[in-house]
Amino acid sequence: MKEKLEEITGVSGVRTAFIYFNDGEVVFNSAPQGFDKETFEEIAKDVVQMTAIFDRLATPITEYDLKFDNGRVIAYTQHNYTLIILCEPGVSLAMLRLTVNVAIADMEADKKFQKRVGKIETTRRSFLVRSNMDPESWSLVETVS
Amino acid sequence: MALVGNLKDLKLTNIVQLNCMEKNQALFTVEHQKKVGKIYFAEGNIVHAEYAGHEGDEAVYKILQIKEGPFKVENNVPPPKRTINTPWSNVLMEGLRLIDEAKEAKGDALSKFSKELKNINGVNGVLIGNSFGEILMEESIANGKRTSAAMAFVLRKIEKIGRASKSGTFKIGFIAGKNDKKIVSKWSEDVVKLIVDPKMSSDTVEQALERIKQQNP
Amino acid sequence: MSSVLTGNLAYLEVINILKLLSSGSRDGKLILQKEDQREIGEIYLKGGKIVHAVCDTYLGEPAFNELILWRSGKFAFEPDATTNQQTIDKDTQQLLNEGAQFYQAWERIRHTIPSFNIKFKKTGQPPPPNVKLKGRDWEVLNLFESGEVSVSEAAQKLNMRDLDIAGIIHALIEAGVVAAGSLAQPVKKETLNENFFKNLENELIQLMGPVASIIIDDVVESFGEDRKSFPRDKVAGLVESISNEIYDPAKQVTFQQYMLKQIKSL
């Protein structure tokens, strides 16, 4: 897994990449200046919550590409884990996507990885609880449900 | 305290009517987004008002736009000065008229914006909602109300992610599922969501969207 | 959005497409998508008349003149699409005729004058004895006395059309009196070698059969390039576009895995 993250971080324009498993584990190589495990966790939870909301609308999501004026956040959401990549705005997207597709295919073919993922019972849905968010967000969730 | 409540439960127009018909000398105070609005009643009319740096009729018109906020009415509070000489019913009528006018103008702008978006090659649906999750405009969207709330939620999450990842201000997001592609963007304070044909190039739609946004500030 | 007419600009010139469309009395918009999908342009027709064109920040005739020069990319015609913008008043027949002339003139000189913004300079050589320069030519030549000049700059200074200046400079270049200036040489882009395409094609044939070659050609063309000089920096996009044509997800992954290795060894 870590070698795959290494490959992804090696793509020109990528700042860092990490994997978040729905049961809470975060896997990453080295965090850049100003980032740590908690930051990664926070970002990942927000991504999972978004994905859970789209689940409620019956339009499941597999890929996010969010452009900001100082960076780009790309996320791939699978059932039990999420791969998140923080990039510069000018990242080579085609190269990144190619590398990620191959990395995910390799990871999912690996028996150890399959076992790890198979153990997870936490659902995406369970991320949408009142205690996990501010009141305004919660009332929006209630309207959607 | 003569009256305490929240503007979402009791309309300002009713409060004004009540105090004027009763010929009260009273002070109405409301809090909204860290600002305080005041309306002074005396001898059956509104005599003074202040809000957000405005005074007189202007202040009343602005306070009329507030849809929600805690208020109180205190009896026997004399007004510090007299800045309003129009009868209360005229003040209210003019205020409401201005609100309708603004709504219509916004409605027209919204409608034009929304139609132009729908015309972008590859766009199959458009939804424009506000940050509270209410639908402002939609074209070819199923489940408008739920989708609108979801988009407001998603935008909050995206902006949170932007802060946590130190990426700056959000510009545009491409969200893809197996069979569809969505584009999320902001148009001043509102959320714009486009449902796009997955075969369409994201760059093309993004460019068209940016161009239309520029033409519709 | 349904379209009745779509295709590749490598085979059909924009002017000819427009001639076809304006001969019926249709409403609609012609969407042009350049090269690797970075630029789009639109030309609107109403009742067979060309009424509006937009491209980048240009509107009307300047946009039209830009768009008819696009030779690579895709186009699609959407019938009944309308606009309330009317940025072109000229009679459509006249517009098309002038456009065709413009295009032909451009064709003749675009090899020596690839852009109106590239600068040229005097070579210092006198014109060969058999070449007679006319009054206008001298006027343009004189501009080069003060340094390097581009076509747009010359056109502005002499208050002439870009295309007319370009024609003159073209003649001056042919006469050996003017040559490309210091900034004119475009940086030679690294391109993919033959081997790369050979490997790509073999791998794809294994996964898709003989239709692979056609798919590769189509995709390469849609990038506005050809196999012999495909830029290295577009390789990831090329692989992505080709792999999108593979419907079997397992085969897609196999192809991507193989190509990723190829790209890494470039």
Cβ–Cβ gap C240/A92 under 8 Å: no
Sign of CA dihedral B159, B165, B171, B176: negative
Summarize pLDDT for B184-210 with one digit per residue, the tens.
Answer: 998 887 888 888 887 777 777 887 888
Got the DSSP string for C35-63? Answer: TTTTEEEEEEEETTEEEEEEETTEEHHHH
Name the pLDDT band for C1 (thresholds 50, 70, 90).
Answer: very low
Predicted local distance difference test score (pLDDT) of residue B134? 85
Distance (Å) from the C-alpha of residue B63 to the closest C-alpha of chain A? 24
Smallest Cβ–Cβ distance between A97 and the set C240, C253, C259 belongs to C240
CB atoms within 10 A of CB C7: 12
Smallest Cβ–Cβ distance between A141 and the set B153, B162, B182 belongs to B153
Chains touching A by CB (3 or more pairs below 8 Å): B, C
Is the pLDDT confidence value at B105 over 90? no
Across all residues in chain A, what is the average pLDDT? Answer: 89
Rounded to whole angstroms, the Cα distance separating C239 from C237 reads 5
Smallest Cβ–Cβ distance between A143 and the set B145, B169, B175 belongs to B145
Is the pLDDT confidence value at A105 over 60? yes
Sign of CA dihedral A94, A96, A101, A103: positive
Rounded to whole angstroms, the Cα distance separating B21 from B179 reads 62
For domain B106-215, the question of CATH label 3.30.450.30 is answered with yes
Predicted local distance difference test score (pLDDT) of residue C184? 47
Chains touching B by CB (3 or more pairs below 8 Å): A, C
Cβ–Cβ gap C253/A94 under 8 Å: no
Domain with CATH 3.30.450.30 in chain B: 106-215
CB pairs under 8 A between A and C: 29
Predicted local distance difference test score (pLDDT) of residue C142? 85
Smallest Cβ–Cβ distance between C40 and the set B119, B123, B204 belongs to B204
Summarize pLDDT for B75-93 with one digit per residue, the tens.
Answer: 889 999 999 999 999 999 9
**Which of B142, B128, C160, C104 has the alpha carbon at shortest distance from A59?**
B142
Q: At what angle do helices B12-21 and B88-118 cross, to 10 degrees?
A: 170
Any idea where the domains of chain C sit in the sequence? 5-96, 119-180, 194-264
B215 touches chain C (CB under 8 A): no
Q: Rounded to whole angstroms, what are the CA distances from A103 to A3, A6, B213, C85, C247? A: 9, 10, 37, 49, 20
CB atoms within 10 A of CB C95: 22
For domain A2-133, the question of CATH label 3.40.50.10320 is answered with no
Summarize pLDDT for C173-203 with one digit per residue, the tens.
Answer: 888 888 887 654 455 667 888 889 999 999 9
CATH ID of C119-180, from 1.10.10, 3.30.420, 1.10.3470, 2.30.29: 1.10.10
Chains touching C by CB (3 or more pairs below 8 Å): A, B
Cβ–Cβ gap B171/A39 under 8 Å: no
Q: Strand pairing of B3-6 and C178-180?
A: unpaired
A88 touches chain B (CB under 8 A): no
Name the pLDDT band for B163 (thresholds 50, 70, 90).
Answer: very high
Confidence (pTM)? 0.59
Tell which of A62, A100, A101 to mutate to test the C interface (max C CBs under 10 Å).
A101
Summarize pLDDT for B121-161 with one digit per residue, the tens.
Answer: 788 888 998 888 888 888 888 888 888 889 999 999 999 99
Rounded to whole angstroms, the Cα distance separating C67 from C65 reads 6
Any idea where the domains of chain A sit in the sequence? 2-133
Token pair of C66 as six digits: 């830009």
The predicted complex's ipTM stands at 0.91
Cβ–Cβ gap C240/A94 under 8 Å: yes
C-beta separation of A145 from A52 below 8 A: no
H or E element, residue C256: helix C249-264
Rounded to whole angstroms, the Cα distance separating B71 from B26 reads 13
Sign of CA dihedral C116, C122, C128, C129: positive
Residue B171 with chain A: CB contacts under 8 Å: 67-69
Cβ–Cβ gap B204/C76 under 8 Å: no
Residue A13 with chain C: CB contacts under 8 Å: none
Question: What residues of chain B have any CB closer than 8 angstroms to a CB in chain A?
Answer: 133, 143, 145-147, 149-150, 152-154, 156-158, 160-162, 164-178, 180, 182, 202
Token pair of C212 as six digits: 């692979």
